[in-house]
Amino acid sequence: MRLITCVMLTGLCCFFWFNLTVLLASTPDDWFIEPSIYHQIEYPDNVQFNLTGFSNEDLLEVRLKYSYGNSKIISYKYIDPPSKGEIRSEVTLNTSGPNYIPAGTQITYFFDLTSVKGKKYQSPQIKFHYLDPSIKWKSTELNHLTLIWHDRNESDINSVIEDVNKSNLRFTKLLDIPNPRPVTGVILNNRKEADEAFPKISAAASREDLYGGFAFSNYDTFIVTGLSKDGIVHESTHLLLDQSLKSPTTRLPAWLNEGIAMYFESNHQPTGEVLQAYSSGQLFDIRYMDTVPGRPSEVRLFYLISESFVAYLFSEYGENKIKHLIKNLDSGIPIEDAFFTTYNVNLQKTQSDWLDSISNRFENKLNVDIGSFGTSLILSVAFLLGLLFSGIGWLRYKVNTNDSDDHLRPDEYEEGYWDRK
The whole-angstrom separation of Cα 61 and Cα 115 is 7
Residue 18 near residue 107 (C-beta atoms within 8 A): no
Q: What backbone torsions phi and psi does residue 313 show, to the nearest 5 degrees?
A: -60, -45
Residues whose CB falls within 8 Å of the CB of residue 51, separated by 6 or more in sequence, listed in order: 35, 36, 37, 62, 79, 87, 88, 89, 90, 111, 123
DSSP readout, 149-182? E-SS-HHHHHHHHHHHHHHHHHHHHHTT-SSPPP
Bridge partners, 107 (sequence order): 68, 128
27: which residues sit within 8 A by CB, 6+ positions away?
Answer: 33, 35, 121
pLDDT band at 7 (very low <50, low <70, confident <90, very high): very low
Mean of all residue pLDDT scores within the chain: 81
Number of helices followed by number of strands (H, E) in the chain: 11, 15
- pLDDT band at 384; cut points 50, 70, 90: low
* CB-CB neighbours of 373 under 10 Å: 8
pLDDT, average across residues 365-369: 46
Tens of pLDDT, residues 72-119:
999 999 998 888 889 999 999 999 999 999 999 999 999 999 999 999
Which pTM does this prediction carry? 0.80
Query: Per-residue pLDDT tens for 134-179?
Result: 999 999 999 999 999 999 999 999 999 999 999 999 999 999 999 9
DSSP 418: E
Label residue 273 by pLDDT band (50, 70, 90).
low
pLDDT at 319: 93
Q: Same structural domain for residues 224 and 148?
A: yes
- Phi and psi, residue 30, nearest 5°: 60, 30
pLDDT tops 90 at residue 270: no
Omega before 44 cis (within 30°)?
yes
User: How far is it, in rounded angstroms, from Cα 195 to Cα 365?
Assistant: 42
Task: List the end-to-end C-alpha distance of the chain, in Å, as a whole number.
Answer: 34
Q: Residues 168, 205: contact at Cβ < 8 Å? A: no
| 87 & 147 share domain | no
Confidence of residue 290 (pLDDT cuts 50, 70, 90): very high
Whether residue 392 sits in one domain with residue 289? yes
Q: What percent of the chain has pLDDT over 70?
A: 73
Same-domain pairing of 151 and 265: yes
- pLDDT of residue 316 exceeding 50: yes
Tell me how far apart the alpha carbons of residues 277 and 304 are, in angstroms, rounded to a whole number. Answer: 9
Are 12 and 52 part of one and the same domain?
yes
Residue 417 confidence (pLDDT) = 41
Residues 387 and 92: their CA atoms lie apart, in Å, by: 56
Structurally, the chain folds into a number of domains equal to: 2
Greater confidence, 239 or 413?
A: 239
The pLDDT value recorded for residue 13 is: 35
Task: Tell me how far apart the 2 most distant CA atoms of the chain are, in Å.
Answer: 100
Residue among 327, 309, 305 at smallest CA distance from 317:
309
Based on the fold, state whether residues 171 and 108 are members of the same structural domain: no
Could you say which of 108, 129, 150 is where a domain stops? 129
For the residues of 56-119, what is the DSSP string, one character each? Answer: SS-EEEEEEEEEETT----EEEEEPPPPSEEEEEEEEEE-SGGG---TT-EEEEEEEEEETT--
Q: Residue 7 in 3-state DSSP?
A: coil
Last-in-domain residue among 95, 129, 163: 129
Same domain, 220 and 363: yes
Range of the domain at 28: 4-129
- Amino acid identity of residue 367, one-letter, is N
Residue 68 shares a structural domain with residue 113: yes
Burial of 333 (0-12, 13-18, 19+ CB in 10 A): middle
* Residue 205 · residue 211 · CB < 8 Å: yes
Q: Tens digit of pLDDT for each residue in 372-382? A: 445 555 555 55
100 with 175, same domain? no
Whether pLDDT at 309 is above 70: yes
157 in the same domain as 80: no
The residue from 65, 99, 129 where one domain ends is 129
Determine the pLDDT at residue 177: 95
* Nearest partner of 417 among 291, 202, 265, 235, judged by Cα: 235
- Evaluate whether 107 touches 127 at the Cβ level (below 8 Å): yes
Comparison of pLDDT for 401 and 32, the residue scoring more: 32
**CA-based radius of gyration for the chain:** 26
Instruction: Please give the residue that has the higher pLDDT: either 393 or 168.
Output: 168
CATH of the domain at 14: 2.60.40.10
CATH number of 156's domain? 1.10.390
- Give the model's confidence band at 421: pLDDT under 50 very low, under 70 low, under 90 confident, else very high: very low
Residue 277 scores a pLDDT above 90 = no
Question: Which of 141-145, 201-205, 231-235, 340-344 is predicted with the least confidence, judged by mean pLDDT?
Answer: 201-205
Q: Do residues 271 and 373 both lie within one domain?
A: yes
The reply to whether 58 and 112 lie within a common domain is: yes
Q: Which is nearest to 147 in space by CA: 233, 238, 45?
A: 233
**Residue 241: is its pLDDT beyond 90?**
yes
Checking if the pLDDT of 407 tops 60, the result is no
Determine the average pLDDT of the residues in 349-363.
Answer: 84
pLDDT of the residue at 4: 32
